[in-house]
Amino acid sequence: IDDAHGFGVLGKYGYGILEDQRICSDRIIYIGTLGKAAGLNGAFVCAHEKIIAWLIQKARPYIYSTASSPALAFAVLRSISLMEGEKGQELRALLQQNIALWKKESTFTRWKRLESDTAIQPIMVGSNETALQLARALDQFGYWIPAIRPPTVPKGKARLRMTLSAAHTKEQIEGLCNVLSELESSLPPS
């Protein structure tokens, strides 16, 4: 399970999709990133010890990488402690409020808001040209929302990849929704 967007965000303690959906099995290979909610760099794999032992011997990117520093290990433990604690729970609640507000306020006629309960909120716009035009136009309004195009996504499925955070205000989210609505009505169909 690739839980790059769920680790630190989903579940009461931020343990991700497995906690959120109450999934428990020793047959799962769980992959998470430290570059989002944890605020660090790197990633991790959780699995049965036999799988981890096999990966240590066979995963070439792991074998030929420099080991992570003790400082990073300390920072990971500190981030997890913050995620599990009261502050982490408070921030996740704020993020979920912002996601709910985004879902309520973002209504499109030509574009499609893809369903997501994480901080990543994609907007499918279709063509590469539309995605690039939108990203440039949004930048002019002070919003940095990158265009995601093939080969990252299938042809004809270009999108904007918006990231919400607990720090965003209601006014910022509503302002973005207003700008997107104006842009949708002013840009030619893709």
C-alpha 17 chain-centroid distance:
12
What percent of the chain is modeled with pLDDT above 70?
A: 99
**Cut 0.85: pTM above it:** yes
Query: Which amino acid makes up residue 32?
Result: G
How far does the chain reach from its first CA to its final CA, in angstroms? 34
List, by residue range, all CATH 3.90.1150.10 domains of the chain: 87-186
- Region 52-73 average pLDDT: 91
d(CA 39, CA 33): 10
Burial class (CB in 10 A: 0-12, 13-18, 19+), 52: middle
For residue 7, pLDDT over 90 is answered with yes
Identify the band that residue 63 occupies on the pLDDT scale cut at 50, 70 and 90.
Answer: confident
Pick one of 3.20.20.140, 3.90.1150.10, 3.30.70.20, 3.60.40.10 as the CATH number of 87-186.
3.90.1150.10
Q: Where are the alpha helices (DSSP H) in 26-169?
A: 49-58, 60-63, 70-84, 86-105, 128-140
Peptide bond into 151 cis (omega under 30): yes
Tens digit of each residue's pLDDT (9 = 90 or more) over 82-140: 999 999 999 999 999 999 999 999 999 999 999 999 999 999 999 999 999 999 999 99
> Phi and psi for 66 in degrees, rounded to 5?
-70, 140
